[in-house]
Amino acid sequence: MGIIIDGRKVSLEVKEEIRSFVNNRKEKGLKVPKVVSILVGNDGGSVFYINNQEKVATSLGVDFEKLLLDETISEEHLIDEIEKLNNDNNVHGIILQLPLPKGINEKKVINAISSDKDIDCLTYENQGKLYCGEKVFLPCTPNSVITLLEKYEIELEGKNVVVIGRSNIVGKPVAQLLLNKNATVTICHSRTKNLQDICRNADIIVVAIGRPKYLNEDFVNEKSIVIDVGTSSLDGKITGDVDFERVCNKVDMITPVPGGVGALTTTLLIKNACEALENNEN
């Protein structure tokens, strides 16, 4: 079996860094980071994520507030609530749970968030900085991919990396982060021809398409490093985009689902809030 890249283990390491940062500030009588997460309505997935954010943040000594708003809220009122948070010097990170209810212009609301508090890198301003290579809060799921690779001392410079998926949330930004590390990146998608051949020639494969067990042993070689970003429900179980059982014995390294990329994302989101606090003070 290939080496399992343990996202939970890496998450614990990053959590210790955050806990140390927060405790050090408390000892000096300084502010600790505060995050406000906004939930409009009661989407089941969003409720799960916001509760998990709260659990992680509070366990690390970070102040966390849930702003729960009725799904009938007007777009104008929602933007007003965001502006209040933008102007609150005690709030350092703002998270907006997506999707928003129908009738609300998601892009307009997202871009109402101050770029200084946009710890999920959703605003056009921060995304623009990301693609221009400027310093910015790194989007947590793509950053999880990079962090796992670096923690396992996987060299990225000059490596042939295939990213399957071109979403604005994962595929495109993770490709950019890999380019920033001097990897040679190929972005593939549903219209790509000879996908199996392309993947078999890759050093690293990042799969983010939302199709459970899509990638099988025909896509890999014995030196492949496979990073599975997918999370789907299949037969009542959380399943990735990789057919783990069929692939794990055929590759050098692989992330599991659950316990891989997803185990780290919320932790990195909270880490961004720590960075936002430092930026605010400087």
Q: Which residues are annotated as a binding site for NADP(+)?
A: 165-167, 231
Q: Rounded CA gap, 269 and 282, in Å?
A: 20
CB 3 within 8 A of CB 249: no
DSSP secondary structure letters along 215-269: B-GGG--TT-EEEE---EEETTEEE-SB-HHHHTTTSSEE--SSSSTHHHHHHHH
Coil, helix or strand for 27? helix
Specify the DSSP element, H or E, that contains 205.
Answer: strand 204-207
Task: Give the annotated binding-site residues.
Answer: 165-167, 231
Q: 227: phi > 0 → left, psi -120 to 50 → alpha, else beta; which?
A: beta
